[in-house]
Structures are given as structure tokens and as C-alpha cells.
């Protein structure tokens, strides 16, 4: 068993108990019965009347049965107690395993590094039934770069400082890279005491977070709710620490990927501005300079050219507004995807002549999404609508969000000119690639269906379980 103890001693003890039970239940009755028969025939039957001999024999049998039963139950009692203790330990081990599993699911359901770090600390407390918890995040040099706490009030955190210096028990786990626990912090030889304002703590458990041979952080738990931390608690936290290290590294990698995606997008917008908008402004400027030199001699022709320049400037302004729209930060608070999509649809309507509708099936769908899922899906919808504005020449667009059969589907359908593989909007462009990568990050699928003159359909599906709800529509 994963969290069991004494696995070599218990079978030997059970074998000894079994031999005693066999002796008591087989040998003792046989010997006693033989002695009773001999005593009755050789002594009682010869010296007493048959009735008195029967009465004495019956009394001996009753007394023997009582003695026999007491011996059997006395032999079985230690085994019964041991079985009850093992059963109780099995329940505790099952609870620890369930807590480790639930904690692992919790910390891997988000892609935000800050949220993952917070969830790791809080989940570790639940696994070990600890009153207080802390996570020390280490930099590349092995020093504490961040220190996240749980169970400590804001006032206590402010009075003790944000990042410890790595002395005492915290420093001991940091230096050794090995788990450590003690029943009494104050009496432990590695303890350095508590700073002023620190809450009193007694028991301690520290476990490092290993990832590919390196320690990336340390978990510290104090004050177990029902006494001192046990070896089983240490094993459970070590199992959880393995999952926590992977979740933290995944969140870090996700942030790095996001940063790279932002850089790519900035480069793309910069190239678009340089190649199109800036050159167009330069051309209008040359035309205006020419108009200045001809305004006296050719006023009618200059008036027409000025009207044309104004129209071109208005077009450039529309292009710049589109770029500004793309550069604005995503307005997604937490995991409220539906509200964010409603705002995105409304803004697309206002800034274009396109009729955009949002249909949301499953009432309360946004409540079941994690922050990471909502963020990625909103970014996909944002990219899809940006492509529609720039390239599709569509008049109508429908954005659909629905969940069924363990899958969530986001679909953006337009009635525009479609995507031509030979045209400027190649299906393998950066925007479509971004959407496919985001879908893959959610362990989902991305598909694009389009024909020239028949519009485009962008579909993303991800694994998802949703609570049942009525079908609703939202604008």
C-alpha cells in the first residue's frame, strides 16, 4: 500500500495468532473431551450414582465451554484490534490519495502562473491538514525569488516581511534539498526562531519541488490540525510536490509562449504599418505638396485631388483604428468568457458595418470555465473577428459557443468572400496559426472551412464538461 507501514511485521503476527486459534479450537476441545470421558467412566461412574455423575459431568462441560469461549475471544481480540487499526489507516490513506488527486487536478486546470502558485500552497494544506502553508519559488541561482503564503492574515504577513532570508528550518530544506519534518519547531536544532509578529507554530513539514533533477521551489507546512505530521503526510506531500513542479513549469512555459506570441504580433503590425499605412500617408503628403504648387493655376483640378486625398486619409484613419483595436488589451476578467465575447461583438458592430451576433447555448456556461480556458478561447474569437474585419468583406457574422457530449465548441461563421489559397490571406498565415496553437494548448482541435465567395467557418473544440442548462441567446 502506498502510504502503509509495518508491512513485514503484520503477516508474522497474524500467522502466530492463527496458530493459537487452531490450537485453542482443535487441540484443546479434543484433549478436554477425552479427559472428561475418562474422568466420568473411571471415577464418577464407579463412585457416584448415575444422576450425580451426569450432573457433575454437565457442570464440567459448561465450565469448559465458558473457559474455551473466553480463550477464543482473548486470542481473537488482538487480531480484531489490529484489523480495525488497519482499516482506519486504509481510510486515512484513501483520503490522502483522494486529496492528492483532487489537488493535482486543481493546480493543472489553470495556466496563469500566479494562480498556479497560489493553488499549490492552498492545495498542499488540504492534503496534509495543515493550518499554515508557504511556497518558496527559487530563481536560477537557488535563492528565494518569491514567497507565497496561505493561512496567514494580511497583518501578520506585513509584520513578518514578504520574503524570508532562508535561515532556520526554511534554510535547512533549501540547503539540503531533502524533506524534513519535526514535531516541535522551537526545540529543533535547525530552528532560528520566529520574527516579531509571526504567528506561533509547532509542527513543521518541508518538501522540495524537483523538476528534471533541479529544485525549483520548496513547500513548507506547519501546525497539522490533529497533532504532528506523520511519515504518511510526508509521502503524500512528496507525491503532490511532483505534480506541483510540473504545473509550475507548464505555467512558466505558457507565459513564455504568450510573450513570444506578443512579439510576433508586434512585428506583424509593425510590418503592416510600414508597408501599407505609412507609405499611403507619404503618398498623400506628396499629392498635397503638388496641390499647393497648382492651387492658383488649376483650382478646379486641385479641388478634385483634395477631395480624393481626404478620402484616402479617411481610409488610412480607418486602418489605424483597426490596428489600435487589435493592440488593445483583452477585456477578460477572470473566466467570464460570455461577457467578454458580448463586448467584443458589440465593439465589432460599432467599428464596422458588419452585423455580428453571439449565440450562447447552455446557461451559465462561463461559470464552468477556468481562467486559462476562457483566456485562450477569447483570444481565438478576437483573432477570428479581426480576420473578418480586415479581409472577408462580410456583411454578417455569427459567433456560437456551446457545449455537448464532453466537448465545448466555439465557431465563427461569416458570409464573406472566403479564403483563397492563392490570395493574400493564405490559410497558413500567422493569425490562423495562432488560433491553431491556442486550441492545441487546450488539448483541442482547430478547423477552417472556406471557399471563394462562400464565406469562412472557423471552429475550435476542446474537452469540457458543463452543467446542464437551458439554451439561451445573447447579443
Give the C-alpha separation, 94 to 81, whole Å. 20
Taking the model in full, what pTM does it have?
0.47
Better-scored residue on pLDDT, 191 or 1: 191
* Angle made by CA atoms 269, 250, 104, in degrees to the nearest 5: 140
pLDDT class of 132 with cuts at 50, 70, 90: very high
Strand partners, 10: none
Contact partners, residue 158, CB within 8 Å, separation at least 6: none
Pick the CATH number of 112-245 from 3.50.50.60, 3.40.640.10, 3.30.450.40, 3.40.1170.20: 3.30.450.40
Residue 448 or residue 10, greater confidence:
448
Q: Note the pLDDT of residue 348.
A: 84
CA distances from residue 391 to 50, 341, 353, 395, 458 in whole angstroms, order as listed: 118, 21, 14, 12, 14
Mean pLDDT of the chain: 79
The DSSP string of 225-291 is TTSS--HHHHHHHHHHHHHHHHHHHHHHHHHHHHHHHHHHHHHHHHHHIIIIIIHHHHHHHHHHHHH
Residues 106-125 pLDDT 10s: 676 667 788 888 889 988 99
What's the pLDDT score for residue 449? 93
**Contact by Cβ (8 Å): 45, 57:** no
**pLDDT band for position 472 (50/70/90)?**
very low
Percentage of residues of the chain with pLDDT beyond 70: 77
pLDDT given at position 78: 78
| 12: its cell numbers | 508474522
pLDDT band at 272 (very low <50, low <70, confident <90, very high): low
Cβ proximity of 405 and 384 under 8 Å: no
Say how far apart CA 165 and CA 144 lie, in whole Å: 8
pLDDT tens figures, 311-321: 888 777 766 76
Asked if residue 392 has pLDDT above 80, the reply is yes
- pLDDT at 397 (0 to 100): 95
Provide the pLDDT for residue 470.
Answer: 33
Q: Binning pLDDT at 50, 70 and 90, where does residue 169 land?
A: very high
Give the range among 1-5, 37-41, 65-69 with minimum mean pLDDT: 1-5
Residue 400 has pLDDT above 70, yes or no: yes
pLDDT digit string, tens, across residues 195-243: 777 888 999 999 999 998 899 999 999 999 888 999 989 998 998 898 8
Question: Considering the chain, what percentage of its residues have pLDDT values greater than 90?
Answer: 22
pLDDT, average across residues 135-158: 85
Of 84 and 465, the one with more pLDDT: 84
What is the mean predicted confidence (pLDDT) over 268-294? 75
Using the predicted structure, report yes or no on whether residue 9 has a pLDDT greater than 60: no
pLDDT in tens, 345-360: 888 887 777 899 999 9
d(CA 133, CA 225): 12
Tracing cell 477556468 back to the chain, one arrives at 370
Report domain extents, the chain: 9-106, 112-245, 332-475
Return the bridge partners of 4, or none: none
What pLDDT does 371 receive?
A: 78
Pick among 3.40.50.360, 1.20.1740.10, 3.30.465.10, 3.30.565.10: CATH of 332-475: 3.30.565.10
Please provide the size of the chain in residues: 475
Q: How much is the average pLDDT of 94-112?
A: 69
Bigger pLDDT: 221 or 38? 221
Joined together, the cell numbers standing for residue 64 give 469448559
The pLDDT of residue 154 is: 72
Band of pLDDT at residue 18, cut at 50, 70 and 90: low
Report the range of poorest mean pLDDT among 185-189, 353-357, 362-366, 461-465: 362-366
Amino acid at each position: 500500500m502506498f502510504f502503509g507501514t509495518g508491512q513485514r511485521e503484520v503477516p508474522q503476527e497474524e500467522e502466530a495468532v492463527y496458530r493459537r486459534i487452531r490450537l485453542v479450537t482443535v487441540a484443546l476441545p479434543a484433549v478436554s473431551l477425552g479427559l472428561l470421558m475418562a474422568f466420568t467412566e473411571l471415577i464418577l461412574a464407579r463412585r457416584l450414582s448415575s444422576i450425580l455423575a451426569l450432573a457433575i459431568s454437565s457442570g464440567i462441560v459448561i465450565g469448559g465451554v465458558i473457559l474455551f469461549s473466553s480463550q477464543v475471544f482473548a486470542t481473537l481480540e488482538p487480531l480484531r484490534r489490529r484489523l480495525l487499526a488497519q482499516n482506519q489507516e486504509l481510510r486515512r490513506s484513501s483520503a490522502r490519495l483522494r486529496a492528492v488527486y483532487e489537488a493535482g487536478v486543481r493546480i493543472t486546470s489553470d495556466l496563469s502562473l500566479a494562480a498556479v502558485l497560489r493553488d499549490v500552497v492552498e492545495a498542499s494544506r488540504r492534503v496534509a491538514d495543515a493550518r499554515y502553508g508557504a511556497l518558496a519559488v527559487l530563481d536560477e541561482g537557488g535563492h528565494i525569488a518569491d514567497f507565497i503564503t496561505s493561512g496567514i492574515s494580511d497583518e501578520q504577513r506585513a509584520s513578518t516581511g514578504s520574503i524570508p532570508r532562508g535561515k532556520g528550518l526554511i534554510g535547512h530544506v533549501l540547503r539540503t534539498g531533502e524533506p524534513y519534518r519535526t514535531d516541535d519547531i522551537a526545540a529543533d536544532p535547525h530552528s532560528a526562531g520566529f520574527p516579531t509578529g509571526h504567528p506561533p507554530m509547532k509542527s513543521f513539514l518541508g518538501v522540495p519541488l524537483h523538476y528534471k533533477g533541479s529544485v525549483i521551489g520548496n513547500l513548507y507546512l506547519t501546525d497539522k490540525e490533529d497533532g504532528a505530521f506523520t511519515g504518511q503526510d510526508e509521502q503524500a506531500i512528496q507525491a503532490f510536490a511532483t505534480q506541483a513542479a510540473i504545473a509550475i513549469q507548464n505555467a512558466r512555459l505558457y507565459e513564455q509562449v504568450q510573450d513570444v506570441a506578443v512579439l510576433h504580433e508586434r512585428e506583424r503590425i509593425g510590418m503592416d504599418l510600414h508597408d501599407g499605412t505609412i507609405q499611403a500617408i507619404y503618398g498623400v503628403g506628396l499629392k498635397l505638396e503638388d496641390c499647393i504648387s497648382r492651387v492658383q493655376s488649376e483650382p478646379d483640378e486641385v479641388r478634385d485631388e483634395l477631395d480624393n486625398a481626404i478620402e484616402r486619409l479617411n481610409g488610412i484613419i480607418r486602418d489605424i483604428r483597426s490596428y489600435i483595436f487589435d493592440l488593445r488589451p483583452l477585456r477578460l476578467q477572470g473566466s467570464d468568457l460570455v461577457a467578454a465575447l458580448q463586448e467584443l461583438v458589440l465593439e465589432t458592430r460599432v467599428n464596422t458595418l458588419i452585423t455580428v451576433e453571439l449565440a450562447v447555448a447552455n446557461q451559465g456556461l462561463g461559470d464552468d470555465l477556468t481562467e486559462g480556458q476562457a483566456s485562450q478561447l477569447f483570444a481565438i474569437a478576437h483573432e477570428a473577428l479581426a480576420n473578418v474585419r480586415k479581409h472577408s468583406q462580410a456583411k454578417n457574422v455569427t459567433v456560437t459557443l456551446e457545449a455537448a457530449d464532453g466537448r465545448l465548441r466555439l465557431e465563427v461563421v461569416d458570409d464573406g468572400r472566403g479564403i483563397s489559397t492563392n490570395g493574400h490571406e493564405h490559410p497558413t498565415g500567422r493569425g490562423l496559426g495562432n488560433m491553431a496553437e491556442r486550441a492545441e494548448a487546450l488539448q483541442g482541435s482547430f478547423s477552417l472551412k472556406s471557399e471563394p465567395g462562400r464565406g469562412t467557418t472557423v471552429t475550435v473544440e476542446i474537452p469540457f464538461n458543463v452543467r446542464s442548462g437551458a439554451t439561451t441567446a445573447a447579443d
